[in-house]
Amino acid sequence: MHATPRWPDLPGIAFGGDYTPEQWPRDVWDEDVALMREAGVNLVSIGIFAWGLIEVREGEFDFTWLDEVIALLHANGIRVDLGTPTASPPAWFFANHPDARAVTRDGVPLGFGARGMASHSAPAYREASVRIATALAARYGDHPAVVLWHVHNEYGVPVGEDFSPHAVREWRRWLERRYGTLDALNAAWGTAFWGQHYGEWDHIGAPATAPSTINPAQLLDFARFTDDQLRACFIAERDAIRAHSDRPITTNFMANQHGGCDLWKWAAEVDVVSDDHYLWAADEDAEIGLAIAADLTRSVGRGAPWILMEHSTSAVNWQPRNIAKRAGEMARNSFSHLGRGADGILFFQWRASRSGAEKFHSAMIPHAGTSSRVFREVTALGGDLGRLGEVRGSRVVADVAILWDFESFWAQGLEWRPSEDLDHSERVRAYYERLWRDGITVDFALPSHDLSPYRLVIAPAQYLLSAADAANLTAYVASGGVLVTSFFSAVVDENDAVHPGGFGAPLEPALGVRVEEHLPLRHSQAGEIVLDGAALAVDVWQEDLVVTSAEVRAAYTAGPAAGGAAVTRNVHGDGVGWYVSTRPDAAGLAAILASVYRDAGLRPAGLPAGVEAITRRGADADYRVVINHSGERVSLEMSGTDLLAQADLEGVLTVEAGAVAVVRTSHPQQEQQ
Ligand code: GLA
């Protein structure tokens, strides 16, 4: 069950960032709040890494400085997102509780001096984190400045998996709860293979370093367990806060890291979804990766407005090459998030740190100070967002869903798969990118969701698909949906066991094909298929398909499957199931999807190249958020009011190279009246 989303009490769109006054002398604080006002900042996150300065010794609290900071912010009309500092326990904690350190898979207890080294299964950590969350909530839970709680920071990073004795003990309990009996566990894990049968719960270890690859069902369960442990920590802190405060509670996700947290489950536990997003500098079309993360963030929150809790004004400091953003890029990034449902745009961090590991990370006030391009752009962004209060609460509507299932992602990523070229994220990106370029807005969904609102559902990488979820997808097609499934899908069930009947068997009714054999290609080996008379290049993967009821839309003409079916289309009930058994290049995928769009009644938006346009639907109007990533001025047919320029349009919106626009337009229904 999802908690009902609750938005913090804030005027308009939230704007601000992480604020770390504890790193600065007192006189800088006054300058900070004055500059925040100048920049239009209305929300800052504080206290996230300040545990040792609040609980100075175990059980001994000093709130003096925090009282003062919160009072200062309040006096200046800046709202507070109050952090619980539990991502980084202080030195005294580890000195008092050396057993509460996380242990690596090689058995090494982690040392102090970085952050996030606690074992999430250690009773001392659980107790201490609830104690500090309670103390903060009891003191500030009703403070008028505090409008949001920010529990912990980026669960699972830098440490999620833990192989400590505490973790092993909890893992065994978790398994007992999940399976009830050892017989059930042995069956689910297939322990008859390699003689792994268990006769005692206490004989089950965490999947630490072993001589060869570890039982994949065990690894998949360990990923589930790890995620559950992290979430239990969040829930304990959240409930401790709720006992003293009615303000909404969040924790910042990392949707673009696709890491160890199943965000569908996490989103159900927070009052408001928030996400941290950093561009992958090596990605030359990083705005597409950003859009994926933003759409995933909105989707896990089931469409409710969300907060971009952190992004960067310019470079980060932890990638191999930290590429600085150039003029306008920070605004374009911000508006892409806003267009995709964010009602808060915040940064890491307000003022660049002089010391420590992150001093080369950009900030709202860079080391160069306020006479800088970055600060000028920050101030301009604050002004622009200030004009968009009416956009808040409007929602993105999508006709297409792409399946994103964290468990399938985890499972596919395990060792000893048929080819190292199988890449879940890569396939999702490829399909998403085509839709992005066609200007078609996408939600993400689980295969268990009600998919009936979507004209088209794409499963680019659904390696793990339970029989029940396959039945849901099949019913979606039968009742008129269009489903596209890419290769290496529906291979295993929830225990990483191959489906009875073979690869893809549970989707056979919907797709009209079965996979007889996987045919991975050699590195750089090219294949070819022919679709509607046109030859299309494929690589990485082919399959021997057995066509049971589908129409063959493209056949292999080169490669190990030459002569066999490559792309198929199957009418099932009132809908259509497509199967793409190989990896086409971008042009090939475009050609296949063009046919799919016809089945689904979809049309590309016809946007100029490099232009992103997303619609948010409000109660009384639509808001078109337009981002021009290209180097050319573009014109789009559009009527309404340009909210940033504060001007009415005469049927055409012109957006300068690299610029953005937000246009209030009438609802399509209103236009028909
Ligand atoms: C993460 C963290 C922040 C900071 C930034 C810097 O998102 O949450 O505390 O470390 O990265 O990249």
Instruction: Decide: 520 and 419 in contact? Cβ < 8 Å.
Output: yes
Output the pLDDT for position 298.
98
Ligand 1 neighbourhood includes 316 CB (under 6 angstroms): yes
C-alpha of residue 50 to centroid of ligand 1, in Å: 14
Q: Is 342 exposed, middle or buried (0-12, 13-18, 19+ CB in 10 A)?
A: buried
Tokens of 43: 């929300």
Candidates 55, 154, 494, 543; catalytic one: 154
Nearest atom in ligand 1 to the alpha carbon of residue 254 is 7
The closest-lying atom of ligand 1 relative to the alpha carbon of residue 318 is: 12
Confidence of residue 17 (pLDDT cuts 50, 70, 90): very high
d(CA 300, CA 287): 20
pLDDT-based confidence at residue 672 (cuts at 50, 70, 90): very low
For residue 670, is pLDDT > 90?
A: no
22 is known as an active-site residue: no
Give catalytic status of residue 310 as yes or no. yes
What pLDDT does 669 receive? Answer: 64
Q: Which residues contact 314 (CB under 8 A, 6 or more apart)?
A: 324, 325, 330, 362, 366, 374
The three-class DSSP label of residue 81 is strand
- Using DSSP bridges, classify how beta strands 640-642 and 611-617 pair: parallel, antiparallel or unpaired: unpaired
Q: Give the other-Cβ count within 10 Å of 287's Cβ.
A: 18
Q: Which of 48, 251, 325, 358 to mutate to test the pocket of ligand 1 (most atoms within 8 A of CB)?
A: 358
Mutate which of 22, 153, 252, 322 to test ligand 1's pocket (most atoms within 8 Å of Cβ)?
153
409 lines ligand 1 (CB under 6 A): no
Nearest to 82 by CA among 54, 129, 43, 47: 47
CA of 142 to the centre of ligand 1 (A): 28
- 275: Cβ below 6 Å to ligand 1? no
Dihedral Cα 383, 385, 388, 389, nearest 10 deg = -100
Q: Which are the contacts of 238, defined by CB distance < 8 A and separation ≥ 6?
A: 149, 151, 249, 269, 270
Percent of the chain beyond pLDDT 90? 96
> In the chain, what are the domains?
14-161+237-385 (3.20.20.80), 400-600 (3.40.50.880), 611-672 (2.60.40.1180)
Q: What are the E-state strand segments in 433-550?
A: 442-445, 456-459, 482-486, 513-520, 526-531, 534-539, 541-547
Q: Exactly one of 55, 237, 287, 310 is catalytic; which is it?
A: 310
> Alpha-carbon distance 631 to 425, whole Å?
28
C-alpha 187 – ligand 1 centre gap (Å):
42
Pocket lining: 438 vs ligand 1, CB cutoff 6 Å: no
User: 154 CB under 6 A from ligand 1?
Assistant: yes
State the DSSP code for 626.
E
Whether 320 shows a pLDDT value over 60: the answer reads yes
Mean pLDDT (whole number) for 256-281: 94
Q: pLDDT tier at 4 (50, 70, 90 boundaries)?
A: confident
What is the average pLDDT score of the chain? Answer: 97
pLDDT at residue number 673: 41
Cα–Cα distance measured from residue 602 to residue 594, given in angstroms and rounded to the nearest whole number: 9
CB of 153 closer than 6 A to ligand 1? yes
- Please name the amino acid found at residue 24: W
Q: Is the pLDDT of residue 476 over 80?
A: yes
Identify the CA nearest to 222 among candidates 164, 263, 165, 161: 161
Whether 310 lines ligand 1, by a CB cut-off of 6 Å, is yes
The arithmetic mean of pLDDT across residues 392-406, rounded, is: 98
- pTM summary value: 0.98
Q: Facing residues of 498 across strands?
A: 492
- pLDDT tens-digit map of 202-257: 999 999 999 999 999 999 999 999 999 999 999 999 999 999 999 999 999 999 98
Quickly list DSSP for 14-67. Answer: EEEEEE-GGGS-HHHHHHHHHHHHHHT--EEEE-TT-HHHHEEETTEE--HHHH
Q: pLDDT tens, 338-382?
A: 999 999 999 999 999 999 999 999 999 999 999 999 999 999 999
Residue 2's pLDDT band (cuts 50, 70, 90): low
Q: Is residue 258 pLDDT above 80, yes or no?
A: no
- Region of 195 (left: φ > 0; alpha: ψ -120 to 50; beta: rest) is left
475 SS3 class: helix
- The CA distance from 161 to 173, in Å, is 16
Kindly state the tokens that stand for 287.
Answer: 């705005």
Distance 348 CA to ligand 1 centre (A): 6
- Pocket residue to mutate for ligand 1, from 154, 253, 347, 361, most atoms within 8 A of Cβ: 154
Atom 11 of ligand 1, residue of closest alpha carbon? 348
The stretch 641-666 carries a mean pLDDT of: 97
pLDDT tens digit sequence for 26-77: 999 999 999 999 999 999 999 999 999 999 999 999 999 999 999 999 999 9
